[in-house]
Structure formats: structure tokens, C-alpha cells
């Protein structure tokens, strides 16, 4: 009977552990529970959200701790998702995207003992860490590359939702283009003014086609899932594209000139890791070239497109920007 009772007790403990979301033997993970709320477009958008996902996955791999997650599909879900994560005991909650700012401001006030991190916006609260990026600096470098790779002297930019954040990509890109070729022409289109602008690859392809019809032979897409349509249209027309946020060179090898990498993965990983280790701090962090928060990608998929001369000139400009000798102006409303 004692053996039977012991066996039943072990089984009961295992059921209790599973009901709490933890596997038997992973009690250490109960001491720390991170969570992440992805924004519209989904965690596999091959761009912004996916970079955040990569950061969370890296934390899980290094620590052995699972994280809770939610993918927002409707605007009203943001506040509810953040609140549910905090209510369920998450120690730190990451909100991916500027659109989570308002919701996080409310929820952070309701749960003062929970740590929050927001990517791409600023929420001023004692329990919130805000991480933003100098997109204009990274975009300057890929703008230089676009101008140097262009044979027509005409290049394009397709943005997603028309907001200051995306205008920041565009203004940095234009400065980089003009730095490399003052006579170059830059075409610019935004996809829309609502969140639907992030997930309309068909429209992205149409905008890219219209720019190519006007002579653009290199097009930079900063449009989330919509950008996938831009990259596809450019490939179909045997021109060059530039990816964004994640390294998108592999999506169309030999057609993607480079990708402007925005290290959202590092921001998410560091947020979770610092919260676990007790080094997390509230306030604002701004990541640019100096902090390795933005950059450009060269790998086996695009190395034949990027000449040594291009790399030397871009690296020289990068060094000057980091040293403060070359000023890249952000977008001003």
C-alpha cells in the first residue's frame, strides 16, 4: 500500500506540474517566466516579428526556460494579451512593435511588480524598458549600396504603414543614396495608413512594379510581410532588392543586394536575459551602428553582388558615422 500511495503521489505531482505549464523536472523554470506578444503579421513574417522570435528562441536555448507567447491578429488583442501574460505570473513581458505602446502603458501601471520591454517605442514607466533603433543609420548604408549597384541612377523605396518610424528608414536611405551619387533619383511609396499595410504582398509587388516601370533597378522594402511581395516582384523582373529587419538575402539568392538588419533579436534576448539575471533596468535604450543595433548583411547569398569597392566605401562611411564625423539625420515630423 505504501508503494501504491507513493506512486499515486508522484503521478499527482506530475499532473499538477503539467497543468501549470511546466514539464515534470523543470521546477527551476517556475522561478522565472518570460513572455512575448508579437504584433500583426505573425512571428514568421520573415522580417520584424521573426527577428523578435529569434531572440526569444535564443534565450530559451541558452537558459532551458520556455516562454509564453501570443500573436496579435486584431488591434484590440494587444492590451488583453499583455494583461493576460502579467496576470498569469510572467516576470517580464516583451511587447513587439510601436503599436503596443498605449496598451503597455496601461497594463504596466496595473502590474507594477512585472517588468515590461517594448520594442520600437517609448513608454515612460518605472517598470518598462523601451528599446528603439537608429534605422536611419543602417538605411544610410544600404542606400549607398543601392546607388552604387544601380545602373540607371534610379532606385526605389516601398514602406509599409505610413508612420514616422518607416519614414525614418526612408530618410536615411535617401541620404545614403545621395551620398554615393548626388544625381541619383529616389522613388518612394508607402503601402497604406492602417495596420493592413504590413501584410499586403500583392500591393507591395504592384508598387515595386510601378517604380521599376519608371526606371528603378534597386528597391528597398521596409514593409513587413508586404515587403515579401516587393522582393518577389523585383526578382521576377531581374532587378535588385534590399531586405529589412531580418537577413532576407536567402529569400531570393542573387537578387537581394543586401538586407538592413535591425537587431530586434538582440533586444528581445537581452531583455529576457537581464530580467532573469537581475540586471534589468527601466528607461530607454537607443541602438544604432555604434551599439551594433543596425547594420547590413553580406553572406553567401549576395556576396557576388557586393563588390570590394562597395564594401570599402560603406565600411568607411560606417566608421565615420560611429565616430560622429558623418551625421545621418533622422526623420523629423
Give the pLDDT confidence of 260-302 residue by residue, as tens digits. 999 999 999 999 999 999 999 999 999 999 999 999 999 999 9
Q: What is the pLDDT of residues 191-221, one digit of tens each?
A: 999 989 999 999 999 999 999 999 999 999 9
**In degrees rounded to 5, what are phi and psi of residue 154?**
-130, 125
In this prediction, residue 248 carries a pLDDT of 96
Residues 6+ apart with CB under 8 A from 64: 26, 29
pTM for the full model?
0.86
Mean pLDDT of all residues in 98-127: 97
267-270, long-range: CB < 8 A, 24+ apart: 267/52, 267/55, 267/117, 267/119, 267/131, 267/293, 268/36, 268/51, 268/52, 268/55, 268/56, 268/59, 268/94, 268/96, 268/117, 268/119, 269/55, 269/56, 269/58, 269/59, 270/55
> Which pLDDT score, from 0 to 100, does residue 30 have?
56
Residue 24 confidence (pLDDT) above 50 = no
- Tell the residue number behind the cell numbers 540607371, with chain if given: 152
Tell me what pLDDT residue 41 has: 82
Reduced to 3 states (helix: H, G, I; strand: E, B; else coil), residue 170 is: helix
Asked if 139 and 176 touch (Cβ cutoff 8 Å), the reply is yes
CA gap 41, 199 in Å, rounded = 6
Are 69 and 36 spatial neighbours (Cβ–Cβ below 8 Å)?
A: yes
Per-residue pLDDT tens over the stretch 43-96 = 998 899 999 999 999 999 999 999 999 999 998 999 999 999 999 999 999 999
pLDDT at 17 over 90: no
Contacts of 123 (CB under 8 A, 6+ apart): 101, 104, 105, 108, 116, 130
CA distances from 13 to 9, 319, 326 (A): 6, 58, 62
What does the pLDDT look like over 140-178, one tens digit per residue? 999 999 999 999 999 999 999 999 999 999 999 999 999
Question: What mean pLDDT do residues 100-129 have?
Answer: 97
d(CA 29, CA 41): 29
Burial 204-236 (b: 16+ CB within 10 A, else e): bbbbbbebbeeebbbbbbbbbbbbbbbbbbbbe
In this structure, are residues 90 and 57 in contact, taking their beta carbons and an 8 Å threshold?
Answer: no
**What residues have CB less than 8 Å from 186, skipping those under 6 apart?**
154, 155, 156, 157, 173, 174, 177, 178
The cell for 190 is 508607402
> CB under 8 Å to 330, separation ≥6 — which residues?
134, 136, 168, 171, 172
Res 46: pLDDT: 87
The cell numbers describing 98, all together, are 510601436
Question: Taking a C-beta distance cutoff of 8 angstroms, is the pair 95, 40 a contact?
Answer: no
CA-closest candidate to residue 44, choices 261, 317, 245, 270 = 245
Strands (E), 39-108: 68-71, 92-96
pLDDT for 14 beyond 70? no
Question: What's the rounded Cα separation, in Å, for the pair 169 and 331?
Answer: 8
Amino acid at each position: 500500500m505504501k508503494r501504491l500511495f507513493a506512486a499515486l503521489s508522484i503521478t499527482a505531482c506530475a499532473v499538477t506540474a503539467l497543468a501549470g505549464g511546466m514539464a515534470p523536472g523543470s521546477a527551476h523554470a517556475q522561478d522565472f517566466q518570460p513572455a512575448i506578444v508579437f504584433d500583426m503579421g505573425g512571428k514568421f513574417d520573415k522580417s520584424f516579428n521573426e527577428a523578435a522570435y529569434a531572440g526569444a528562441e535564443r534565450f530559451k536555448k541558452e537558459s532551458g526556460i520556455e516562454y509564453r507567447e501570443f500573436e496579435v491578429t486584431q488591434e484590440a488583442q494587444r492590451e488583453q494579451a499583455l494583461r493576460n501574460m502579467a496576470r498569469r505570473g510572467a516576470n517580464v513581458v516583451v511587447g513587439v512593435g510601436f503599436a503596443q505602446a498605449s496598451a503597455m502603458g496601461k497594463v504596466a501601471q496595473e502590474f507594477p511588480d512585472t517588468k515590461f520591454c517594448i520594442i520600437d517605442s517609448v513608454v515612460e514607466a518605472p517598470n518598462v524598458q523601451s528599446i528603439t533603433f537608429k534605422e536611419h543609420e543602417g538605411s544610410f548604408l544600404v542606400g549607398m549600396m543601392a546607388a552604387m549597384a544601380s545602373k540607371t541612377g534610379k532606385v526605389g523605396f516601398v514602406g509599409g504603414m505610413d508612420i514616422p518610424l518607416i519614414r525614418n528608414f526612408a530618410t536615411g536611405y535617401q541620404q545614403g543614396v545621395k551620398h554615393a551619387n548626388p544625381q541619383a533619383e529616389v522613388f518612394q511609396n508607402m503601402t497604406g495608413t492602417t495596420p493592413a499595410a504590413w501584410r499586403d504582398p500583392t500591393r507591395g509587388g504592384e508598387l515595386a512594379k510601378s517604380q521599376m516601370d519608371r526606371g528603378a533597378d534597386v528597391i528597398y522594402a521596409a514593409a513587413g510581410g508586404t515587403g515579401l511581395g516587393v522582393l518577389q516582384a523585383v526578382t521576377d523582373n531581374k532587378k535588385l532588392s534590399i531586405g529589412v529587419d531580418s537577413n532576407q538575402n536567402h529569400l531570393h539568392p542573387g537578387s537581394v543586394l543586401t538586407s538592413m538588419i535591425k537587431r530586434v533579436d538582440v533586444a528581445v534576448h537581452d531583455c529576457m536575459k537581464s530580467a532573469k539575471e537581475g540586471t534589468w533596468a527601466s528607461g530607454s535604450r537607443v541602438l544604432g551602428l555604434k551599439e551594433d543595433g543596425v547594420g547590413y548583411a553580406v553572406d553567401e547569398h549576395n556576396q557576388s553582388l557586393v563588390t570590394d569597392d562597395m564594401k570599402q566605401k560603406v565600411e568607411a562611411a560606417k566608421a565615420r558615422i560611429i565616430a560622429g564625423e558623418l551625421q545621418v539625420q533622422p526623420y523629423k515630423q
